[in-house]
Structure 1
Amino acid sequence: MRDVPKKVQQFYEYANQLEVPQDVKEKLQRHVDSLTENKFGPEKKSVQPRRRRRRYARGLLVGAVAVFAFVGVVSVILRSDNEKQNTVANKPPQTYDYKSLLGFNPTVLAHVPSGYKLTKASIFVTKGVEKDIVHSPNEQNLDFTARYTSNSGNITFYEYKAPNWPKPSVANGYHKITVNGKQDWIKEKNLINSTTKRIVLFQNGLYYSADAFNFTQKQYLQFFQDLTVPYKKKPNQVVQRFWGINIIKNNLPFHAQLPPVPKGYKVTQAVGYISKGVTKSEEKLGYPPDGTRMIVRYDDSRQHRSVILSEYLGSKSSVPSGKKVKIGSITGSYVKAPSGSSAMGSSSSALAWYNSSTRVVTALEGYPDLSKRTLLKIANGIIADHTKG
């Protein structure tokens, strides 16, 4: 049985070829050495019975096999962990598809001014023209903004496309300037109700602008030339605005339910929004609230009455509580608001309901205080339009 230690050593040597940590290998070697030394010791005449020696040998082999199995399991686990780590390490970072929304890949400063840091990136997309209610032309403004903040103030850079705007010229306030050996167009204009100037540079089909709070025109030109680092992270805010009923229908992710225009009324506004990341303070400045919605306004100029139709993706809990009413097969809610409590300042009545098949909440608001009968007539027209669509 003197060959048993050799077999144990062979187990160790085979296990040693596996990918296991060095401290595990060292413990295994010490275990093999101790087993060999304690159980067999230096060669001498045995005074033990053969049965006891066989029992020692058998125990040693079982121990060696168990150690070998343990090392095999450890190596499999370690290899699995290494493969996972390599997969994570080799996985490319997530990027945002700006080009599908903006038509270009935006850039940020390669060298941020001392004390400033990039704190917010936003996308603003506008399609259509506000004054064209139904057949808006295919006009669009595509805007990326990057805000840098510091203790002394903020800088916001705008990078945008306006394909339907007139090309820069002397006639619309631009003058030529040489930048890096190339002629581009630049202009300064005062912001509305402010003495602050906005600097606009037109270069390679894109507009670059910034508000001149803390820096000179020369410094801003240097900033514009430093906008060279592609920005690939997900933006903090995305606001898409659609003017005109046709454009709304083509861009909102739900079927816009429109009633026949009530007799004596005409559509005076039609706008749709898809917005995400808008703060409450920005809502007060006129930003659309988070969500996906359409707003259509109908006005009767002779009787000075208005109806505002709102449709948005929501849930049944979004419907305001009120008196239950039937609109076709749908149960809705009828609410009356006192004077001064509505957005238009006058008394109003409202009808709202949730369509579970489309996940759309529809609200009709009548000013000043339209009758429930009138609102129900308009609402039934909306339900009929949805049934047709």
Structure 2
Amino acid sequence: MKVPAALSARLTKLRRPLPDDGSSGITAPARSDRRTKDLTKRLKPGDIAIIDHVDIDRVSAEALLERGVSAVLNVATSISGRYPNLGPSLIVEAGIPLVDDVDPEIFSRVHDGEELRLDAGTLYRGDEVLAKGVVQNVESVAAAMAEARAGLSVQLEAFAANTMEYLKRERELLFDGVGIPDLHTRIDGRHVLIVVRGYHYREDISTLRSYIREYRPVMIGVDGGADALLEAGYRPGIIVGDFDSVSDHALATGAELVVHAYRDGRAPGLKRLTDLGYEAIVFPATGTSEDVAMMLADDSGATLIVAVGTHATLEEFLDKGRAGMASTFLTRLRIGGKLVDAKGVSRLYRSRISPWALLALVAASLLTVLVAGYSSPAGQVFLTSLAARWDALAYWLTGLFT
């Protein structure tokens, strides 16, 4: 697993060479939270991150690395063997110490922001041992990944069963669109760009600038994807999600808000919007928020749906976790040929106006001006004056060298 180039550059200053014995000898502030997504909002460069995350996925790992952590201590097992998750590989290959199976009591022992020392998988406060764990490295992570891939057939069988269960629950929504709310934003006949703050989203948005400039698609941010659009200089037209990772700044852009609710109608994200005074549409669905965004765009008549940061390959589907795979897979089957991954657009799309065409246009314009000037009395006087000035300049330059 390669670390993305942009992320690798941001980590260069924070990367530390590790001794051969795997010890790290890091002294830094420690911050903890059982939810990795919540912790990344509070992390500062150089912090030791303490999490409780079974099977660290790629998005969570990239979020930790982007915050510039100096080490990651995990109360759980970073690779359980259920499926080949991608997060641990990113962490260890970035040179960041990863310690697994840390004593769960660490959450009550560590004060947020206090400076602690991590050495060879043991966390110290001064000389006091707070917790111990198993240090992971490139070799141990690779071995665990290979073992997880060996049981891939079992995971695919479980995925097939989960898919059938999801079809039973959501067949009316998937096939007939029953329950999909109407949007105020006009989408019919237009392109839609759906942004999830997932895999390589920054690079994908950057490569789509020409496409966005020409087609002006309706932009849908899925939770933190709305902030990703703002960071890139764009304003989301619609924000979809449970609104636990989108900023107040993004909510204040005037975008249409769609709350992804549970199938029984519970919508935890609605309370935040109500408290802030925003109106929102509620969409109950079993799938993920990115699936909800795709179904909304498709049902509203989008002619093309371009996805940024979403799951596209088998490896990424597995990294999402088996429980969420069925909805994502079936939603893509429902949308069919409308859905295009951002990487495919950037490779196939070229601006309709080439540099050579622009050069030819400029040349033709200059020729038109010259012909028009030569054919009119005023133009002839101007051209004669211009020729005289050119002769004077040539005479002056000649005099400098004679």
**So what's the TM-score if we normalise by structure 2?**
0.22
Q: Which of the pair is proportionally richer in helix?
A: 2
Larger strand share, 1 or 2: 1
Structure with the larger RCO, 1 or 2 (CA within 8 Å, 6+ apart)? 2
Structure number with greater Rg is 1
Calculate the TM-score normalised by the size of structure 1: 0.23
